[in-house]
Amino acid sequence: MNNSEYLKQERAAAWRDDLRKAKKNKERTSLARVKMPEAPPIERARSYVEVNSGLTPEQAINEASRCIDCANPTCISGCPVEINIPKFVKNIERGEFLEAAKVLKETNALPAVCGRVCPQEKQCEASCFYQLKLNTEPVAIGYLERFAADFEQQSGKISIPEVAPSNGIKVAVIGSGPAGLAFAGDMAKLGYDVVILEALHEIGGVLKYGIPEFRLPNSIVDVEIESLRKMGVKFETNFIVGKTATIDDLREEGFKGFFVGSGAGLPRFMNIPGENLVGVLSSNEYLTRINLMGASSQGMDTPVVRGKKVAVIGGGNTAMDSVRTALRLGAEKVSIIYRRSLEEMPARVEEVKHAQEEGVEFLTLNNPVEYIGDDKGKVKQIRVQRMELGEPDSSGRRSPVAVDGSEYIIDADTVVVSVGVSPNPILPQSLPQLKVSRWGTIEVDPDTLQSSIPDIFAGGDIVRGGATVILAMGDGRKAAASMHQYLTNQTKK
Amino acid sequence: MNKVISKHYYSENVVSLEIEAPRIAKARRAGHFVMVRVGNTGERIPLTISTANVERGTITLVVQKVGVSSRKITELEVGDEVTDLVGPLGQATHVENFGTILACGGGVGVAPLLPIVEELKKAGNKVISVIAARSKDLIILEDQIRQHSDEVIVMTDDGSYGKKGLITEGMEEVINREKIDQAVIIGPGIMMKFAALTTKKHNIPSIASLNTIMVDGTGMCGACRVTVGGKTRFVCVDGPEFDAHEVDFDEMLMRLSGYREDEIKADEQYLCVSKNKGKA
């Protein structure tokens, strides 16, 4: 049975049919999209409480009833891990929240995470019937995903996906971020002996060191990791493949396949004067000190700069996370400096909205050209240049052009540079035969995600160079399917 | 895992710890470092591996108490576990037969210098080592350095041992006497700065092993960035060794002071708490 047949069969289930008949479509489409309950900006901007507090069951059921359960659910094609969206949404509508969570887990190892950090407005929700055909606000699929996943976590009745009997084949996962976790989940289901090797002392990769508590609480990530553990996935921290042991060492230890999801850990800088002054740091350093090392909490040894005037350079989600973290560390004035306009900003719409509500100043169409320090080498000012938008560049976004003679100076005692990341070089450096692009990303077959070394597959940011949690997870799932195929063929030989 | 096997005091503030880490012991080469974290509230700090024993599956770290994190490491006792230990990190030292080597170690910098001296000697070089410290009790690993050197000159600032004077004076003495093909410089930032100026004056190719602030040690944070030859480099993945004549030591020293106030405050607090614990 192929996927579309499966979806059709699921849709034909009697309970789905009854639900569809229970309400007229006109009634459904007349409902307004739910608003996510949020902590008030004035309170949350100084605390690490999660900003979105989640839908109530009534709100969730009501929102789920907006979905008309289309015969051709276009939303699914917008999802990188192809969640059976109507099936989980309709389960919410009929009050079967645990069942809804189970549906999510059929294809998504981390639903509580994705419900919070996916750019739904560019994916499932962008492909929703409401958006495409009615040109109105789509069903809040992301909110509903989070609702079902949270409900399950809080119920204490967490369903562990069914795992095939062990086939005794050992596979290693390099990196415990979203790509690796998704891969591990699928391989465990297929009966593989999965070991995740993580460089840091915590499991979760960017979900732990990168995304702040107010957007994705670590406890949520830990529950999802615990589910994988229950499925038999093993974790080893403080293990850097390519350093602690090589791929060859691991082959000797009996590993038959490798999935590299080591991420894009190398922060980029702009190479402008003064960038190495004290008080100028990467968003990775800033967020890692706080999210991984707990620098904002009492009793932790790791320090962090607590600037009064903090400028964050960049317009992505990480820039938003950094600028809002600065507020929570007690900054008096926080600004985003971004060289294009609000429209081109790569950050999720919701993150920009939250940052604006919390009082972040947006200096769009501005670009730093120099950092100026005091006599101790500490940053005190930024020389900024105004920009205007020119022709679209290779990414299709209009490229910023400097306005001559527009430079001016602003005060800042902390600058967080968040202009992107490059792939982490450690693993590729240890494998000279591995084909990498000139940007340092691992080259893979786009269909199988197999690298130039047959037993090594790769996905997520180490291949894409810097993308999203869900795209990384999609890669993990794809790589699991093709590695399974590859290893099955190998054992037949 | 990562149990402390033996502990040795070089002085009140300088301690050597032999730690169980079989994979790291096997994989490490001269020049590599590890990241160490003690306790769940601990900070991750980089420490260069001094020696390793593959049979015993151990590595040895020499640690000087300078702040809370290094203090916590020196307070580990035999049988204690190091909470987190990861490595070996960084690029290994480039070893070949250069001819005559001038190996310069200041303070605890002698610890990471030892494996480099050992390998350079093994590669057929003539090795002349100059080790220096403020006073006699801060000179460490002298016997081990002697074992792998053709000659050792000891310098102390106060003249309490060896010759009186700065490391650069000991270096000049050797340079004026014979042709040096390569210098290796490891120690406190300020010492490396002046040692590098000395070898530059005599056109001696030199490498320095840098120890900067790091959070992860794997390229992720960029806290360790230094300017080398006008370009920004990461000590953790590009280093820790660089051409000593190209390193902007002033910038490095400035960046090292970035958290000085926090460090002093944290250390005072930690000592205060420890003292009160002692009373109770």
> Which residue in B has a C-alpha nearest to residue A285's C-alpha?
B221
A205: left (phi over 0), alpha (psi -120 to 50) or beta: left
pLDDT, tens digit (0-9, with 9 covering 90-100), for A341-376: 999 899 988 899 999 999 999 999 999 999 999 999
Q: Confidence class of residue B92 from pLDDT cuts 50, 70 and 90?
A: very high
Interchain pair B27, A243: CB under 8 A? yes
Task: State the Cα–Cα distance between residues A205 and A178, nearest whole angstrom.
Answer: 7
User: Does residue B280 have a pLDDT over 60?
Assistant: no
> Which residues of chain A are within 8 Å of residue B227 when distances are taken between CB atoms?
276
Q: Report which residue type is found at B212.
A: T
Cα–Cα distances in Å, from A439 out to A424, A465, A470? Answer: 11, 8, 22
Residues from chain B that touch A265, judged by Cβ atoms under 8 A, are: 216, 218-220
| The pLDDT of residue A15 | 95
| Distance from the A238 Cα atom to the nearest Cα atom in chain B, whole angstroms | 5
How far apart are the C-alpha atoms of A187 and A163, rounded to whole Å? 9
- Determine, for residues B41 and A269 on separate chains, whether the beta-carbon distance falls below 8 Å: no
Q: State residue B275's pLDDT score.
A: 61
A81 CB-contact burial (10 Å; exposed 0-12 / middle 13-18 / buried 19+)? buried
Candidates A282, A293, A301; nearest CB to B68: A301
Radius of gyration of chain B, Cα coordinates, nearest whole angstrom: 18
- What's the average model confidence in pLDDT over A321-344? 95
Cβ under 8 Å to A: B residues 20-49: 23-24, 27, 37, 41-44
Tell me the three state secondary structure of residue A188. Answer: helix
CATH of region A3-38+49-155, choose from 1.10.1060.10, 1.10.1200.10, 3.40.50.300, 2.40.50.140: 1.10.1060.10
Picking from A199, A269, A300, the nearest residue to B218 by CB comes out as: A199
Q: What is the pLDDT of residue A62?
A: 95
Measure the N-to-C terminal CA separation of chain B; round to a whole number of Å: 32
Answer whether A294's CB lies under 8 Å from A327's CB. no
Preferred mutation among B35, B70, B220 to probe A, highest tally of A CBs within 10 A: B220
Q: What is the CATH number of domain A269-419?
A: 3.50.50.60
**Closest chain B C-alpha to A279 CA, distance in angstroms:** 7
Instruction: Compute the nearest-CA separation of A237 from chain B (Å).
Output: 9
Cβ contact A301–B225 (<8 Å): no
Report pLDDT for A1.
61
Closest CA to A199 of B17, B68, B91, B221: B221
Looking at the complex, report in whole angstroms how far the Cα of residue B197 sits from the nearest Cα belonging to chain A.
Answer: 22
Tens of pLDDT, residues B133-158: 999 988 999 999 999 999 999 999 99
Placement of tokens 């930024």 in the chain? A382
Interchain contact, A301 vs B262, CB within 8 Å: no
Identify the three-state secondary structure at position B169: helix
CA-closest candidate to residue A75, choices A2, A153, A144: A144
C-beta atoms of B257 and A265 within 8 A: no
Count CB-CB contacts under 10 A for residue B67. 18
CATH architecture for segment(s) B100-256: 3-Layer(aba) Sandwich (3.40)
In sequence order, what DSSP letters do the residues of A38-78 get, joined into one string?
B--HHHHTTS-S-SB----HHHHHHHHTT----SS-HHHHT
The pLDDT of residue A10: 92
Is A392 a residue whose pLDDT tops 90?
A: no
Nearest CB among B27, B84, B254 relative to A244 is that of B27
- pLDDT tens for each residue of B29-51: 999 999 999 999 999 999 999 99
Q: Which of B23, B43, B263 sits opposite A245 (nearest CB)?
A: B23
- A284 and B222: CB-CB below 8 Å? yes
Question: Quick one: pLDDT at residue A156?
Answer: 87
Q: Of the spans A102-106, A393-397, B121-125, which averages the highest pLDDT? A: B121-125
Confidence of residue A493 (pLDDT cuts 50, 70, 90): low
Rg (CA), chain A: 23
Q: Residue A175: count other Cβ atoms within 10 Å of its Cβ.
A: 31
Q: How many interchain CB pairs under 8 A, A with B? A: 120
3-state helix, strand, coil in chain A (%, to 5): 40, 20, 45
Residue A158 pLDDT level (bands cut at 50, 70, 90): confident
Q: Which regions of chain A carry the CATH code 1.10.1060.10?
A: 3-38+49-155
Nearest residue of A to residue B248, measured between CA atoms: A276
CB contact under 8 A, B27 and A245: yes
Residues in Cβ contact with B230 at an 8 Å cutoff, skipping those fewer than 6 apart: none
Nearest to A203 by CA among A188, A224, A186: A224
pLDDT attached to residue B258: 78
Q: What is the pLDDT of residues A274-325, one digit of tens each?
A: 999 999 999 999 999 999 998 888 888 888 888 999 999 999 999 999 999 9
CA–CA separation, B116 vs B4, rounded Å?
Answer: 24
Q: Rounded to whole angstroms, how far apart are CA atoms A176 and A206?
A: 9
Per-residue model confidence as pLDDT tens digits over A107-133? 888 899 999 988 898 899 999 999 999
Kind plus residue range of the DSSP H or E element containing B74: helix B68-74
Phi, psi of A66 (to 5 degrees): -70, -30
Asked if residues B182 and B158 have their Cβ atoms less than 8 Å apart, the reply is no
Considering only the beta carbons, identify the residue of A244, A288, A378 that sits closest to B220.
Answer: A288
Chain A residues with CB under 8 Å of B43 CB are 293, 300-302
Q: Convert the pLDDT of each residue in B253-276 to its tens digit.
A: 999 887 777 777 777 777 776 666
Name the binding residues of B for FAD.
Answer: 62-64
Domain boundaries, chain B: 4-89, 100-256
Q: Which of A198, A191, A190 is nearest to A172 (CA)?
A: A198
Which two structure tokens, joined as six digits, stand for B133?
């410290």
Residues 86 through 145 of chain B touching chain A, CB cutoff 8 Å:
86-89
Q: Is B219 in contact with A424 (Cβ distance < 8 A)? A: yes
**pLDDT of A161:** 86
Structural domain A170-265+422-492, CATH architecture: 3-Layer(bba) Sandwich (3.50)
Nearest Cβ partner for B255 among A246, A265, A276: A276
Residue of A nearest to B83 (CA): A201
Q: CA nearest B256 in A: which residue?
A: A278
Interface membership of B68 toward A (CB under 8 Å): yes
What is the value of pTM for the model shown? 0.91
Probe site for chain A from B72, B213, B215 (most A CB atoms < 10 A): B215
pLDDT band at A45 (very low <50, low <70, confident <90, very high): confident
Average pLDDT over all residues of chain A: 93
Query: What DSSP string runs through A280-295?
Result: EEEHHHHHIIIIIT-T
Name every residue whose Cβ is closer than 8 Å to that of residue A437 and which is 6 or more positions away in sequence. Answer: A443
Q: Which of residues 242-281 of A touch B (CB under 8 A)?
A: 243-246, 265-267, 269, 271, 275-276, 278-279, 281
C-beta atoms of A266 and B42 within 8 A:
no
B72: chain A residues, CB-CB within 8 Å: 301
**CB contacts, 8 Å: A289 with chain B:** 215, 221
Which superfamily does B4-89 belong to?
Translation factors (2.40.30.10)
Cα distance between residue A251 and residue A187, in whole Å:
18
Chain A CA closest to residue B45: A302
Chain B residues touching A239 at Cβ < 8 A: 86
CA angle A348, A349, A351 (to 5 degrees): 65
Hey, is the C-beta of B84 within 8 angstroms of any chain A C-beta? yes
Which among A288, A299, A377 has CB closest to B41?
Answer: A299
A376 contacts B215? CB cut-off 8 A = no
> CA dist B115 to A222, A228, B59, B85, Å?
41, 42, 12, 20
B88 to chain A: which residues are within 8 Å by CB? 243-244
Residue B278 pLDDT grade (very low, low, confident, very high; cuts 50, 70, 90): very low
